A and B are shown apart, each in its own frame.
Chain A
């Protein structure tokens, strides 16, 4: 069965960076892209970007351009999302999901809570 297992919760200070991992299993990793979506406490979903696990092509949300980097490691079927220069409003649950860029997004990770606080 398809599973996406994310890394654990993080607490970071403003200005720091965070790197969240998303390990995929149960399917051919390079056949699907990975989307990243975040949700601030009590707020809605926000699309962050997408990466092709086939060739590494990326699309990032315009508001995060320059602060976010998405990568994949095909040898371990793992996707990564790094967010730099963290601010308090980056506090959110970060989700990875299989699909995106017109392909259906039908499997989600369990979410990773990132808290940014001084």
Chain B
């Protein structure tokens, strides 16, 4: 199972919006509505931000949203804040397996 493809970096100024893509195949992202997004700050455990493509766990700001089209999922962070600077990882169910993206480092300028 190959890793999902994410851009290595993304950036935006405070208040702006940024979108991070996550491209897989019909065997993972395109085949199931079980795409998740995780935020990870340095030295910390990952934190679930989005699950099942577009659902937000309790406590996650509505500035974070997810979507999917075909084999590509996307995470959009609106109204960027300094604390959003972190690594972001997508993951997808792939039929008894799970696969992660390589991660995207989001920089708030």
Interface residues of A, Cβ cutoff 8 Å to B: 35, 37, 44-47, 50, 59, 61-62, 95, 97, 100-102, 104-106, 108-111
Contact = CB atoms under 8 A, between A and B. Distances in A.
Interface of B: 1, 3, 32, 34, 36, 38, 40, 45-48, 51-52, 55, 57, 89, 91, 93, 96-103
Contacts, number: 57
26 contacts: A37-B46, A44-B3, A44-B89, A44-B100, A44-B103, A45-B40, A47-B91, A47-B97, A47-B98, A47-B100, A50-B98, A61-B1, A61-B97, A95-B45, A95-B46, A102-B32, A102-B93, A104-B36, A104-B48, A104-B52, A104-B55, A105-B36, A105-B48, A106-B48, A106-B57, A110-B45
A61 B96 CA distance: 9
Nearest to A45: B100
Contacts of A104: 36, 48, 51-52, 55, 57
Nearest to B100: A45
A89 to B, nearest CB: 16
Given A44-B103, A101-B98, 19 more contacts: A37-B100, A44-B89, A44-B100, A44-B101, A45-B91, A47-B91, A47-B98, A47-B99, A61-B97, A104-B36, A104-B48, A105-B36, A105-B48, A105-B51, A106-B48, A106-B57, A109-B45, A110-B45, A111-B45
Contact of B51 (A44, A61, A62, A106): A106
A48 B46 CA distance: 15
Nearest to B93: A102
A51 to B, nearest CB: 12
Given A59-B97, A62-B97, A111-B45, A102 B103 contact: no
B46 A45 contact: yes
B96 A59 contact: yes
Question: Of B36, B45, B48, B102, which is in contact with the most chain A CB atoms at under 10 Å from its CB?
Answer: B45
B51 A45 contact: no
A27 to B, nearest CB: 14
B59 to A, nearest CB: 10
